[in-house]
Structure formats: structure tokens, C-alpha cells
Structure 1
Amino acid sequence: MSVGVLCIHGFSGGPYEVKPFTSYLRSHTDWIIEEPTLSGHGEELHMSGFKAKHWLMDAELAFRSLAKKVDEVIVVGFSMGGIIALYLAKRYKVKKLVLLSAAAKYVSPKQLVKDFKMLATEAYHHNLTNNELYLRYHQKFNNVPLASTVEFMKLVRMVEPYYRHIQIPVYIVQGKLDGIVPYHTAQFLFDELASTDKVLYFSDNGKHHICFEEDCSEWFPQVLMFLKGK
């Protein structure tokens, strides 16, 4: 039985966001692993003009291409990629899902304003280098058009009604110190999903980029066991 894994990165990110996890899977399995880069994303951002429909189309094309090569497809989604993974699970035959820091209740406009106020306050106190939100976004402020953020929010709202229709096995990983997606989002997602086979792993010290945290050595093997059905 051949297995394929489709890994989808986050908003304004790229495959590098899930690289530690995909590297782990490659070294412990013979699965085919695909890591598409969504339109306008990657190492250099050129997001202007791209909409949610383009990102969904990118993911669908990647899924269909992988599904032709293997018997079963697992979908892994990080942040916005987690929402796209749920979209795919509603529309295609996905074997299992792994949702990493999934942005099910991502930043609302109010939250954005709050976060930027916090950044301004920390800038005033010269403490920006220690702020995760700043580190995540300081290079992106000039490269992420507001229209793209609006498209992202549109995508999150569009997929939310799908949660209660998802019945396949799902493993959710969420950092409690995530400065981008509030950690209680993962509990909301866990409760909403109709799956009976579902696991929620909280990383006590994990931030948004969960694949780079120290406890990866703990949850990488657990996720792999879950995916192998052991």
C-alpha cells in the first residue's frame, strides 16, 4: 500500500515552515512527500493579485497529482495550511489529517489592531527583538498586501462550516505560547470536528512555528505512529 503525504504551509510562508517534520517523515518512511508552494508565497513573497481561490486551486492540483501516484493520501497543514487541509478533506478522499498550529480562529481585524498596539508599545520600550509576533512579521509588513490578509480571513470563514463534516482521523498539534493563533483555537477545532479518532497534543512551551520547538522529538514519533495506525 503506497502512501503519499501532502504538506501545506502557512499564510505568507513556505515549505520551510514544516521542513523539520517532512525531513523526519522522509527519514522514517518510504512515503512520497510533496510540499507545494502556494501562489505568491515562498522564500520571496509576491502576493499581490492572488486570492484564496488560487491557494485552494494550488492545493487541489497538488493533491490530485499526488493521488495519482499513491494508494492513500495523508494531508498535513500548518497554520493557514491546516484550513486548506480541512477543505481538501471535505472534497477529496483523504486518509488522515495532521493539523499544526491550525488557524481556525485566526487573527480577527480587532486582534490585529491589538497586536500592532502591543508592537508599538514594545518598540517604545526597545523590547521588539523578544517579541514573537514581531519576529514573524517584521520582514513581511511591506510584502503582504492588506488584500491578501482579507483573502486569508475569507478562506477561514469559508471552511469553518466544513468542520462538523470531517470524519477522518485527525491529529492536532498546538503550542500554548503561540503568539499568532490563540492556543484555545485547537480545542475549538478538536470539539467541532466530527472525527471519532482524533488526538489533541498541546506543546507547553510551543510557539507558532511548532515544527521548530524542542519537544518535536516527543510529538514527531507520536504523529508518525498515529499515521501508521499503530
Structure 2
Amino acid sequence: MILPGAEPFFLPGGEKGVLLIHGFTGLPAELLLMGDFLQKKGFTVLGVRLAGHGTTVEDMSRMTWEDWMDSVRDGYAVLAGCCSSVSVVGHSMGGLFALLLSTEEPVDRVVTLAAPIYIAEERGLRYLPPREVCTGQFVPKARRRLSGVPPAVNRTYRRMPLVGVHELVDVIGRTKGCISQVTAPVLIMHSRDDHTADPRSAEYIYGQVKSKIRRIFWLEKSGHLLPVAAERETVFAEAAAFLQASGE
């Protein structure tokens, strides 16, 4: 059963579609404010729910990164069926899926929000046990309660499956392996105080994509949760302007 408020959302608008992809252990609701903003700018918006998210952490532990990618592919197919073009915005791990999708489908534009090519040292990834001993193992995932956001945003998992962390690492590896195939225009948004996705990630993406149009937009005090943090209105406005542009 999907948790209340954790459902995918569809916001009808104009001919241009935008697919919104949440991150690891996240929910579509984390991108709902951004979706509302983009709809008001004339876009048709779909916020997908990645498989195993918004239900139970045990459910998530049974999913692979390909299951999550299939959720993204399904969302793209829905939007492509009702829009003349589809752009993709992804937060955190969702940003990696946005890049991957652009290597498979004719994506108009890509926006990454705190996409993690490098995980910050303080997250202790170096202590991750081997995959074979991670099945059925969970660790706490602390996050402060946020205000002024959709209620479901504060219902994210408070534990994460260690086998899922291995799947996240696999997504990173997959992205690094094909990032040179990314040619769609890319806006890379990252906060300098991100203690989850090391800010070096933004520089890596910028340097490795083959997009003729690519730009980094730095924030200063948003941490990792760009779509719901203090500078979110700036994030929304910059992303919308990039998605509306053409022929740059």
C-alpha cells in the first residue's frame, strides 16, 4: 500500500512536458512544489514514484536500480504520449536517472539537482559491508522535520536498506559509464554546502557530458534537499527559465 501523499502526481498544462524524479528513499511529494511552479509556467508535469518507495522500507529492499529505472521509463512514456517534448528534472539519485534517460530517449532538456557522482565522506560509504551480507540489513536515516512543505515530505523512510545502498552505487557506476553519451542541454544545480552529494559531483557532470549547452548553477545554503530547502524558489525559477529556453 502506498503511504498517504506518496502517490505520483500529474499536473496537466501545455505541450511541453517535464518529468520529475525523486531521489533515494524519497517521495514524489518532495518535488510537488516544483511541479506546481512549473505547471504555472505552462508545463505539463508528471512526478513519478520509483518502485519500492513510498510503501515500506522492506519493499524497497527488494528492488534493483533497474526497477527504479523502469519507473522512470514508464513516466517518460506517459508524458511522451501527451506532450510534444519531454524534459527531465531529477533530484539526487533522480538526477542520475535523468541523465541516463537522456541516453535512451529524445529528451529535450535535463536538470540535475544535487546529483551524486561522489558521496560525501561523512556519509561513511567506505564502511558499507559487502553486498552478500547486506540482505535484510537496515540502518537509520536521520533527517530533520521540514516546515512549509507537503506533509508527505516528512514521511520518508527513517531507515534505509543496505542492499539498496549497493544499488545506488550501481546507479552511479552506470551513469559514469555512459555519461559521455549525454548530448541534451544540461543544467546542473548544486549547493556548495551539500554534505550528501559532494559538490565535486557537479564539476564531474559538467566535464563529462557532451552537451553543447551545459551550465552549473551554484547555491550556497540549500544542503542536499534543493527542492524543499531555503533557496527553493531560486531553484524553481532557474530551472523553469532553462526549460523554457530554446535555440541557445
Matches within 5 A, 1:99-178: 99-106=112-119, 111-112=124-125, 134-135=142-143, 140=157, 142=159, 144-178=160-194
**Relative to structure 1, is the Cα distance of residues 43 and 22 closer, same or farther in structure 2, using a 3 angstrom cutoff?**
farther
Deviations 1:25-74 (Å, cap 9, x if unpaired)? Answer: 12222x21111111111265331211111111111111112111111000
Partner of 1:38: 50
Shift of 1:16: 2.0
Matched positions, count = 210
Which amino acid letter does the alignment assign opposite residue 28 of structure 1? K
CA contact (8 A) 1:9 1:37 kept: yes
Q: Select the residue among 207, 216, 219 that pairs with 1:203.
A: 219
Matched, 1:191 2:240: no
Unaligned runs of 5+ in 2: 1-13, 129-140, 145-155
Structure 2: how far apart are the matches of 1:43 and 1:203? 32
Q: Give the alignment's Cα RMSD to 1 decimal.
A: 2.5
Which amino acid letter does the alignment assign opposite residue 24 of structure 2? F
Runs of 4+ aligned structure 1 residues displaced above 4 Å come to: 107-110
Shift of 1:163: 1.3
Structure 2: how far apart are the matches of 1:84 and 1:107? 19
Shift of 1:174: 0.4
CA contact (8 A) 2:227 2:235 kept: no
Which amino acid letter does the alignment assign opposite residue 169 of structure 2? M
Unaligned runs of 5+ in 1: 116-132
SS at match of 1:91: coil
Query: Under a length normalisation based on structure 2, what TM-score does the superposition of the two structures give?
Result: 0.77
Partner of 2:15: 2
**Relative to structure 1, is the Cα distance of residues 158 and 109 closer, same or farther in structure 2, using a 3 angstrom cutoff?**
farther
Query: Under a length normalisation based on structure 1, what TM-score does the superposition of the two structures give?
Result: 0.83
- Residues 105-114 or 58-67, more deviating: 105-114
Partner of 1:75: 88
SS at match of 1:135: coil
Compare the two structures and name the one with the higher helix fraction.
1
